[in-house]
Amino acid sequence: MPVLEVKELGLQLYGDSWRAMQELTDKRTPSTPDQLWLLQHPAVFTLGQAGKPEHILNPGEIPIVNSDRGGQVTYHGPGQLIAYTMIDLRRARLGVRGLVTQLESAVIGLLAKYAIQANASKDAPGVYIDGAKVASLGLRVRKGCSYHGLSLNIDMDLEPFTRINPCGYPGLAVTQLTELGVKSDLPSLGRELAQQLAAGLGYTLSFTDPDADKLDE
């Protein structure tokens, strides 16, 4: 069974993470293990490749980054779990749509453990609870390998989502796990999400020493 190396990286600047993902993707070989990075970002709006600036209504002091991921505009901030998936899709015999489905299913499976019913949408990738978005997805594939991934709202300030049209949808409701009664902390939820994703993709998890995890490695 292939190994998925999990790195728990704490709070990281979006640009630093992005560059590190690109570097890993460019340097990896057919024998490079796939990786899952679990982290948080300081407040930032990111525009995906399909992003339209007019969907950023009132950014205020929050910086805006034009990213190479798929999708529209979203917000990242402390209290939101980021899960970046560096996966060799050819080796995994997995297409982009298949990876998106597995990411959505991992979140849905995680929420089910807390008796929360969630669903995906064919028209707009992500995970929703009663029409409110709780997780967003955005991927990039280069050299047959994926990077970027998903964000899951856990215990954060949701106000910045009112400054944008989330994922390009005006008035889209956004929710988070604390509003749904989930008391678990972000690191624990990250590990539970990793377990859900590994089960769906057929991986064995390997958690690296958090003290040894650095983005420039």
Structural domains of the chain, ranges and CATH numbers in brackets: 3-172+184-203 (3.30.930.10)
Query: Which amino acid is located at 188 in the chain?
Result: S
Q: Is there a catalytic annotation at residue 145?
A: no
Catalytic residue among 21, 100, 129, 167: 167
Structure tokens at 128: 């929703």
Residue with tokens 């669903």: 119
Over the chain (217 residues), what is each successive 10-residue block's mean pLDDT?
Answer: 96 97 96 97 95 93 96 96 98 95 98 97 91 97 96 98 94 96 96 97 88 57
In this structure, how many other beta carbons lie within 10 angstroms of the beta carbon of residue 200?
15
> To the nearest 10°, the Cα dihedral for 74, 78, 79, 81?
60
- The predicted model scores a pTM of 0.95
Please name which of 186, 188, 201, 21 lies closest in space to residue 100, comparing C-alpha atoms: 201
The answer to whether 28 and 88 have CB atoms below 8 angstroms apart is yes
Does 74 appear as a known binding residue? Answer: yes
Pairing of strands 119-120, 132-142: unpaired
pLDDT of residue 130: 96
Residue 149 marked ligand-binding: yes
Using a 10 angstrom Cβ sphere, with 0-12 exposed, 13-18 middle and 19 or more buried, the burial of residue 82 is buried
The reply to whether 85 sits in an annotated binding site is: no
The response to whether 137 counts as a known ligand-binding position is yes
